[in-house]
Every structure is written in structure tokens, then in C-alpha cells.
Structure 1
Amino acid sequence: MNNSFIRFLLVGVLNTLVGLSSIYVFLNVFELNYWWSTFLGNGVGAVCSYFLNRSFTFRSDVSVRASFWKFILVILVCYAFSYWLGLHVSSVFLSIFDRADTKIVENLAVLISTGVYTVSNYFGHRLFTFRQKVNEAVVE
């Protein structure tokens, strides 16, 4: 593992605490549906994530103007893919055990999706959002 991935995981711990807590509050306290809960919760985590990943994780000098739209694009693509996949995987998995209760499926889907989202986000941001030219890359 390289240093930027370790820094990404550290930032991710903070984002996970904020985002995942928000998702579960939206889902279980406010009783919003799965898609609104996961979208809003990830949005809350994304706000601090952008600035922490830009300055701490990737130590990027790419301008906010050039990187913010890429950050949003990566977040949205990873969100759609991860949370769709997690919902389907948990639904299939729980149907095997005859536990297809909607709340159980959705809560398990959030956990599965969070892992997929984290890995896909890292690679999206490293290779697209905060990518630096090879000759200008920070040596890790």
C-alpha cells in the first residue's frame, strides 16, 4: 500500500463516521427511503471529503475550479454503482435465508455499498480528480 491510500483511509474514517451516521439517521429516524438517505448522507460526507482529500490525501495543487467538477462526477458515478450493487447483493443474499424484510435488506446494503464506494472512490480520485502529471507527481 502507498501513503496516499493510507491517508485516504484516514480521511475515510472521518467521512464514514459523518456520512454513514447521516445515512442511518435519514433512513431510520427520518424514515426517508433508501435512495434519499444514501444520497443525502454521502452528500454530507462529500463536503469535507473534497477539501481533506485535495490537501491531505493527494496533496494536489490542481485548482478547485479544475478538480471540483471531477470530484462531483466521481462521487456520483461511485455512488450510483456502489449503492445499486449493494442493494442487489444484499437482496439476493438475504433472500437465500428467507430474510427479505426491506429494512434489513437496506441496512445490509448500506454496509456492503460503503466498502465498494470507498475503493472505487479512491481510484476515481487518484486517477481522475487529483491526477498529477507523471513528472510532477509527489514521490511517496
Structure 2
Amino acid sequence: MALRVQIRKRRRLSPGRHGQVNSSRAHSGATPKPFELIEPLARIGPSLRYALVGCVNTFVGLSVIFFCIGWVAMPSIAANASGYAVGLFVSFLLNRNFTFKSKVPIESVVGRFLTIMLLAFCVNVLVVLAATDWLGFGDYIAQILGVASYLIAGFVGNSLFVFKEGE
């Protein structure tokens, strides 16, 4: 009996414009869109993408807050409001384009997004108050529970009411 060996010809991959290896785009000459540069991350589920956007959003918001306090000498409350405003803007763009990959027009979802995020914040505050005042948890555990409730409420609200396709 002869053993038959099959050799497959490997497809040659060439680096794309931004250094990534991409066989289809390299030959077409098309410029990648900004959110396509993070395409490998787009393969994970929406809930993990939402959490990743939350991490990016937290970093951006805190960076703005610290910049406003340290460099601009802004009062803490004004710096905090500035950080949250920039954070909401970043969160909206990333969640629309990366997390949910929504094609719903921006003008029709901005109000819903802000409403859901306000409701999620209210859920956060209620959970923190309930955890500290009624359940007797310490502040750190209460904050962790509050953040978790905020993430869940924001994800559910955004996926069901804000960036839901077909509207």
C-alpha cells in the first residue's frame, strides 16, 4: 500500500496598509475603515465587546477628568462632568459602531442612548444604596455591585431599545 501525501499550496498573505496581514484587501487596494482595524476583536460576542468599550470609556473619561484637574485647574465637579460628557460621546460611538454594529441613523438613537444610560446610572445608585443601607455591605462591595448593575442595565437597554436593528 502506498501512502499518498497531499500538499496544499499556501496562499501568500501580504501586509496591508496599516501593517496587518490581509489577503483580500491587499489586492483590492481598498482603504480599511477605522473600526475594521480592530476586526479580530469584533469576533467576540457583543457582551464582551460592551465590557471592552466600558474599559476604554473609563480610561478616556478618567483621563479627561485628570487632565482638567491637573492641567486646566478646573474644579472637581466641573472636571467630573467634562469627563463623563466625553465618556458618553466615546461610549455612544464605540457601542454603535463596534459593539452592536448598528446602521440605525445617529439622530434617531442619541436620545434613547442618553435615556438608557441615565436609567442605568439610576439603577447603579439604587443598588449601591440598597447594598449599603439595607444589606449592610461595605462601600467597596456596594460599588462593585453598582457597577455590575450599571453594565447589565446599559447592555440590555442598548441592545433592546437603542441599537436594535429593523427600526
TM-score, scaled relative to structure 2: 0.56
Give the aligned residue type for 1:120.
A
Aligned-residue offset at 1:93: 4.2
What is the match of residue 40 of structure 2? none
Equivalent residue, structure 2, for 1:11: 53
Q: Unpaired segments of 5 or more residues in structure 1?
A: 100-104, 135-140
Q: 1:86 to 1:43 in 2, by over 3 A?
A: farther
8 Å Cα contact 1:83-1:109 kept in structure 2: no
> CA, structure 1 residues 87+108, in 2 after alignment: closer, same or farther (shift >3 Å)?
farther
Task: Supply the AA of the counterpart residue of 1:121.
Answer: G
Alignment pair present for 1:72 and 2:114: yes
1:47 aligns with 89
1:57 and 2:90 correspond: no
Percent identity between the aligned chains?
27
Residues in 2 aligned to 1:114 and 1:73: alpha-carbon distance in whole angstroms? 18
Larger-Rg structure: 2
Question: 1 CA distance for matches of 2:60 and 2:151?
Answer: 14
Counterpart in the other structure of 1:131: 164
Distance 1:40-1:6 versus aligned 2 partners, 3 A rule: same
Structure 2: gaps of 5 or more residues: 1-43, 70-74
Q: Is the 8 A contact 1:90 1:112 kept in 2?
A: no
Q: CA deviation at 1:64?
A: 0.8
Cα shift at 1:80? 1.1
CA distances 1:56-76 after superposition (whole Å, capped 9, x unpaired):
110001111111001011011
Give 1:86's aligned residue: 128
**Bigger RCO (CA 8 Å, 6+ sep):** 1
Q: Give the conservation status (yes or no) of the 8 Å contact 2:109–2:163.
A: yes
Secondary structure at the aligned position of 1:132 is classed as coil
More helix by share: 1
- Measured after TM superposition, the shift of residue 55 of structure 1 is 0.5
